[in-house]
């Protein structure tokens, strides 16, 4: 049996091939799964998809018609998958429910500190032998307030780091995390968190209830000199509204590892093409904004765990077992 893996990054491919070696054959493709590329999967019972794959109804129909019966997604998020259609088609769907929370939490902190201390601007200057300090002044994080929206494993890891900086901790979630409370976190309503926090970080899943969690009203609630970081899902922020606030000169810094319209852009080289997304094009022009390409999870540790979990998901499917990673069980 050959498993077809879509959207495989060059750094990721050796880890995938090593994990599957001796068990099943795997063929890695650098193209992302979409309606245009789904016919490639014809004849493959099992395919593996990446976080930016399109697994809407149309794509699932094409996959099912070609004989695909199992989708193993290499990510925690699954908002890109039409689970109802998969169930109707009798397709098994599994994801990776857990991997290193430190990868994402540490990267979120890297974004926060980069925009706070103007690291990118400073680096660009020194490359031109411009060693002035004008415009590079940041702020101590010690003694300031970190607001954590979503206090699961990643939010908890972020809070631990914030505690190390000597920050006051505010949290918001549907359920309180006892570990975060032991760290000194106080749970408050979202509006209070946004109004009081010097640093706001997002670590909640993207669902209908959380889409545009940070909308125009929420942005106006935040402090003018706040730092906003999103390393979770792009759709949590109303980007058009964020651009308007940035145009008004608000926020010390914004660090975004995700973007709500990133599909078809992120993970690809678009450097020689005209970017037709005016919102993204405007966003990256602000000197206090840093955008990266959905790389927070991208460490050897986290990717290795994701690949290992994907192998286990495939083995569970073939052996008729069901784990906590299964979103749509085998019929």
Catalytic residues: 233, 262, 294
> Which run of H or of E encompasses 83?
helix 83-88
Residue 304 in contact with residue 15, Cβ under 8 Å?
yes
Pairing of strands 92-94, 326-328: antiparallel
- Cα Rg of the chain (Å, integer): 21
**What is the end-to-end Cα distance of the chain in Å, rounded?**
20
Alpha-carbon span 251 to 245, nearest angstrom: 8
On the 0-12 / 13-18 / 19+ scale of CB atoms within 10 A, 294 is buried
The gap from C-alpha 89 to its chain's centroid, in whole angstroms, comes to: 28
Q: Which of 102, 99, 50, 107 is nearest to 305 (CA)?
A: 99
DSSP 193-245: HHHH-SEEEE-----TTTTTSB-HHHHHHS-TT-EEEE-S-GGGB-HHHHHHH
Q: Which of 238, 198, 233 is nearest to 218 (CA)?
A: 238
Beta bridge partners of 237: 214
| Sole residue written with tokens 């900086």 | 165
């Amino acid at each position: 049996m050959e498993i077809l893996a879509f959207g495989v990054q060059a750094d990721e491919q050796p880890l995938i091939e090593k994990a599957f070696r001796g068990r099943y054959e795997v063929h890695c493709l650098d193209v992302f799964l979409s309606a245009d590329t789904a016919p490639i999967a014809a004849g493959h019972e099992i395919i593996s998809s990446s976080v930016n794959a399109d697994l809407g109804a149309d794509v699932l129909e094409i996959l099912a018609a070609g004989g695909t019966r199992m989708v193993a997604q290499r990510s925690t998020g699954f908002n890109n998958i039409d689970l109802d259609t998969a169930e109707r088609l009798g397709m098994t769907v599994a994801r990776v429910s857990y991997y290193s929370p430190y990868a994402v939490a540490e990267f979120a902190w890297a974004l926060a500190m980069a925009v706070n201390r103007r690291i990118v601007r400073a680096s660009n200057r020194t490359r031109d032998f411009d060693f002035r300090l004008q415009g590079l002044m940041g702020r101590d994080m010690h003694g300031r307030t970190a607001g954590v929206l979503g206090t699961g494993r990643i939010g908890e890891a972020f809070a631990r780091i914030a505690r190390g900086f000597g920050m006051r901790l505010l949290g918001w979630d549907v359920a309180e995390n006892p570990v975060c409370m032991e760290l000194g976190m106080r749970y408050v309503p979202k509006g209070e968190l946004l109004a009081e926090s010097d640093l706001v970080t997002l670590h909640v899943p993207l669902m209908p209830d959380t889409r545009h969690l940070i909308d125009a009203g929420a942005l106006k609630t935040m402090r003018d000199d706040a730092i906003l970081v999103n390393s979770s899902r792009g759709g949590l922020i109303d980007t058009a509204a964020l651009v308007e606030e940035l145009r008004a000169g608000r926020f010390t810094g914004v660090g975004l590892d995700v973007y709500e319209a990133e599909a078809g852009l992120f993970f690809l080289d678009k450097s020689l093409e005209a970017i037709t997304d005016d919102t993204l094009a405007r966003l990256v022009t602000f000197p206090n904004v840093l955008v990266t390409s959905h790389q927070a999870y991208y460490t050897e540790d986290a990717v290795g765990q994701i690949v290992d979990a994907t192998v286990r998901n495939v083995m569970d499917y073939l052996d008729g077992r069901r784990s906590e990673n299964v979103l749509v069980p085998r019929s």
